[in-house]
Structure 1
Amino acid sequence: MTDKNKDALGKDLLELIQYSSNAFITGQLFTNWVDPNSKKRPPDQGDKIKVSANALVEKLMRSQPLYIRTIKPNQSKSPLEYDTAAILHQIKYLGLQENVCIRRAGFAYRNTFEQVVQRFYLLSPATFNNKNTGNEFLKESPAWWVMYLKSHNFRELLATNLKRLRVALRTQTPFWTQEFIGFGGYLALLKRLKELLEIEWREEQHDDQVLYEILRCFKALLLKEPGRESLSSKLPNPFVQLTSLLYSEKRPGDLSSRQVIIELILGIFELNYNPRVISQIDWKALIDLNKVDTKSFSNPQDNSPAPLLSSSTNLSQPKRVAGSYDNGGKDGLLNLRLIRHEFVKKLLVGPPDLKKEQMVEFAVKTHRNRIF
């Protein structure tokens, strides 16, 4: 009875063989008892090969490859003989010279940041006396968070990690926030937010939670001066994109995310706003300002109608009202707070519906003048 034929036997034959009085058959060939009530097919040699192959792959994935190159100093196995020509030949065909040049340039070492710290933690004063070899220190540092945001796309981000980042942005010192922004943390948050807003469909269990935590991170930046400066540097982003999301079909389903978006838009009043930024926006494509009521911008004592504000209006130049600026009055300059009010108002109203503006009646569109 060979192994090839043993796997093809039915359960009834195996059960019959197991009750044999021959010790060789029951002790050597058929050692495992078969359950007659089980409908599962007994394992064959193919299943054993699959199990062993999977175990080998798992062991290889957990291990770290180590390449050892052996150089023979001579061909006669003598301990004191050194053949220079043979050694140089081995160095060339093994690629050791190129490998040394690449390692000197710093491009050959491929490892995770945590493993590098575990090996070289004695070189840093911040991790020298840390028994955990700097892992706890690294996971709370701005550089680690920026590396995490840059090396993972929005699908790979975890809401729990973003929650820890949000707590750090709220509770750490302004210097910590400044380091986070200096390493590129704000730009990384903008990139991850852009990826979330550009996808066609968001998964509620993961993507919406990641979106909520990223919005809370932006809100945490409003609490400190370095964060407000970074938000002011990229205006009107991401406020215009968030407003478009709020009025689109892909808006978040939960009320808490929409509430955070409104709070972020209202956070414009806390920024060091530059009026020059408004004139650089293509308002025709994003938000229509042709219908803005600008009577509040003019002199209250002047009864003349105020001009409409358009995309060509240069708001970087302060508006002067005759007779008030020269006399030292405060109505001569354009009030920045009113600009912010109008800006937030148009953000909350949302962009115009281009489909409704381009609608034309069918009879008017298809009418043609006839000869008679």
Structure 2
Amino acid sequence: MMQKEKHWMIYGANGYTGELIARKACELGLQPTIAGRNREKIVQLASELKLPFDVFPLKDVNKIASRLKGMNCVLHCAGPFTETSEVMARACLKSHTHYLDITGEIPVYSLLYDLHNEAKSADVMLLPGVGFDIVPTDCIAAKLSKKMLDAKFLSLAFMGLAGVSRGTLKSMLAQAPDGSKMRKNGKIISIPQFSKSKMIEYKGKQLKFHAIPWGDVFTAYHSTKIPNIEVYSFFPGLFTNALQFLGSTVGLFKVPPLLHFSQFLVDQFVTGPSELARQTDKCYLWGEVQNEAGDKLEIRYETEEGYQFTVDSSILAVLEVLKGNYMSGFQTPSLVLGNDFIDKIPGSIQKE
């Protein structure tokens, strides 16, 4: 890639997570261009933070590419990512701008992976998942893979998210009809939501975790080459029971008017974790590999709250790219930034 000045953009800076990232970047003395589709909110935030800004929709690839001219990289924070990522990524290929995002959605990873050869030819990096989705789990997977070179099975789990933002919940609604996902013998397969569970020890207690369609089902295979991958999370019993009760109706979210109405309701009533929750809550992660002989290894981590982790990890990832640390094509956090990237995020502690 031809050397560019170290300009970068946060697209979707008016959203919950995008705004948090913009504010933290400003605190650190960085000068990203903040951008999005909502002129009023972007102008207001840019005025408050004294940052350059731009306002444009995600419709025409050529027009978007013209707005990215001169940008070294874009941190894409505008969801739902299944609707926004491809057009932004294609614009990045045209403008020779590195693409980073904070999604954990398997369909997005899949479509970006399909652009791998084009990105290689353009010397552009496509690096999704530089937030809590999926930095900590990807790094844990890579660490375990390095410790057990003949691993054939990988299980990952996490708990402790303080809440969800509007964008995350809207994306969850869109994906709900597709059920959960796991990787078996190298292939991603679908299973019913909450149909697979695993007992995992946490602080001396055995807790029931449920399989979820987390991004690592797609990406950990590329990071580790382990062919069998499952990801689990812990949900309170009432939440799990409610979703199991609604299981037969989630297919209705495939009907666009119903999905859009549900997402509209989310916009009206959901905000996201409070500042106190972001600063005080913790997330707990676990990973285990197993080989065909039955040998096992596990790693446990504690990190800061998920959205706060996303703020810190995404900015650090951008700074690495601005220093020239990139690999063209579709990549994962551990491949580009190293499996110790998790240890560079404040509050990350490997537990015994």
**TM-score of the superposition, structure 2-length normalised?**
0.28
Task: Answer with 1 or 2: which has the greater Rg.
Answer: 1
Q: Which has the higher contact order (CA 8 A, sep 6+)?
A: 2
Q: Which has the higher helix share?
A: 1
Q: Which has the higher strand share?
A: 2
**TM-score of the superposition, structure 1-length normalised?**
0.27
